[in-house]
Structure 1
Amino acid sequence: MNRLALLVAGAAGLAVYAIAPAGAAVLPADTNETVTSCGYSGRQAGLATRVCAEITGTTVEFYGTVALAGPPSPGSPVPAARELFTTLSAEVVGGTTPDTQTKTVIFASSNLEVRGLVGTAPCGSTVRGTFGVSSFPWTANPVVHEVTVTC
């Protein structure tokens, strides 16, 4: 089992805990229902960013989202499309080196998802996803999301 797989499974479990109200039933990790949880929104390259975990059974997929940080001012032109450099990484906390994916994307004012890291993780492990976005002259200020895989 590779590290990303372990990371993904861990993220799935924590997501269930993070979104379930107190006293709510927690789905076992082997169900086929997909549960999504996201970390806090951050500002990078003048945009709102966030990293999310999508968990189905013991499979976890981390992905990043990019959106405008706020609505354009009335009467202002639509923001011009621009090139963004993204870095998405996933790891099992306390494990080895994270799996990392870098991608160049074009952001043209509509919400954007950057996907690509999928894996599984054993029950009880905690997984962490990190998403960074940069665009000249702004450097990345990565957002982080951790979840624990529950079974």
Structure 2
Amino acid sequence: MNRRSLKGLTLLAAGTATAGALMAAPAQAATTAATTTATTTAETCSPWSLQSGLATQVCAAITGDSVQFLGRVGLAGPPSPDFPPQPQVLSTTLSGQVAGGASLGSTAQNVNFLASTVTVTGPTGTVACGSTVSGTFAVTKFGWGPSPVTVNATVAC
């Protein structure tokens, strides 16, 4: 072989080794990501409830023995092209408690709502395994009274 052919083979071998190393890197990264322990959150939600063109829902997000309540407000259906949604300031109340036991707290806040679903973060607490928790979410606006939705969930741990 001449020098030029030998140099070409050397470059080809170096390129192949580099490509092999680069192709192996994602496999190592995937292995690392797969061994990471993930915490599982189970979410139990009430059915959506209709109230003055809006839909409301309350959820209990349970991770181990920790519970967080979430309230959601969305449109009850698609907006009408003739009457696009108008911005609204809604008053929300979200509370949680252990069934037959202590209150986990309550939050009250105003939220700006247009057309996208809005999530309200509520009380959080640590609860004994096997306990049942209950959450209530209510939305009001000038001219309408509350129409609360409720969820019950068991903390399985």
TM-score calculated relative to the size of structure 1: 0.74
Report how many aligned residue pairs link the two structures. Answer: 120
Q: 1:117 to 1:97 in 2, by over 3 A?
A: closer
Give the superposition deviation at 1:71: 0.7
- In structure 2, the gaps of 5 or more residues are 1-37
Q: 1:55 to 1:98 in 2, by over 3 A?
A: closer
TM-score calculated relative to the size of structure 2: 0.71
Q: Which runs of 4+ in 1 moved over 4 A?
A: none
The equivalent of 2:88 in structure 1 is 82
Match of 1:44, as an amino acid? Q
Give the superposition deviation at 1:96: 3.4
The equivalent of 2:98 in structure 1 is 92
Distance 2:98 2:51 in 1: 25
Match of 1:85, as an amino acid? S
The equivalent of 1:17 in structure 2 is none
Of the structure 1 ranges 84-93 and 33-42, higher mean CA displacement relative to structure 2 is found in: 33-42
- In structure 1, the gaps of 5 or more residues are 1-30
Distance 1:72 1:137 in 2: 21
Instruction: Report which of the two structures shows the higher radius of gyration computed on alpha carbons.
Output: 2
Which of 78, 102, 114 is the matching residue for 1:108? 114
The answer on whether the counterparts of 1:44 and 1:142 sit within 8 Å (CA) in structure 2 is no
| Aligned alpha-carbon RMSD (Å) | 1.5
The equivalent of 1:126 in structure 2 is 132
1:1-151 alignment to 2 at 5 Å?
Answer: 32-73=39-80, 75-97=81-103, 99-151=105-157
Q: Higher helix fraction: Structure 1 or Structure 2?
A: 2
Give the superposition deviation at 1:77: 3.8
The answer on whether the counterparts of 1:44 and 1:132 sit within 8 Å (CA) in structure 2 is no
